[in-house]
Amino acid sequence: MFSLKALQKNKTFRYGVPMLLMVTGGSFGLREFAQIRYDAQKLNKKLDPSLEAKVNVETQSVMLELEFEKMKDANLDDWKNIRGPRPWENSREYQDQQRMKTTPES
């Protein structure tokens, strides 16, 4: 049988086992500290109940079918792509020019 002296001289037992214990123990400890961090973030993100109810109602009222109906009724055949003004262009002047080009001439 192995004696205690033989185990103390064994490099695996002397260095490997403590290393494995530190790695596995460290992962569990890190998990606990990370959980504290996420719990604190969750507490800070709490919304006012009235605001939270309003947000939930807004997200539920937007349905894909309703948006589809809005887009179906839109006239997409008569649109024209108008670019915005460049930073060096006068935006008001450029918008007036574009409006003149796009208005139907009688």
CB 90 within 8 A of CB 98: no
Query: 40 vs 54, which has greater pLDDT?
Result: 40
Query: Is the pLDDT at 39 greater than 80, yes or no?
Result: yes
What are the b/e assignments for 28-58, b being 16+ CB within 10 Å?
eeeeeeeeeeeeeeeeeeeeeeeeeeeeeee
Q: Which two tokens stand for residue 46?
A: 């709490």
Model pTM?
0.35
Percentage above 90 pLDDT, the chain: 15
Q: Is the pLDDT of residue 26 over 90?
A: yes
Nearest CA to 58 out of 73, 70, 50, 41 is that of 50
Taking every pair of C-alpha atoms in the chain, what is the biggest distance, in angstroms? 109
Q: What is the pLDDT of residues 54-81, one digit of tens each?
A: 766 666 656 777 778 888 888 778 777 7
94: Cβ contacts below 8 Å, ≥ 6 apart: 85
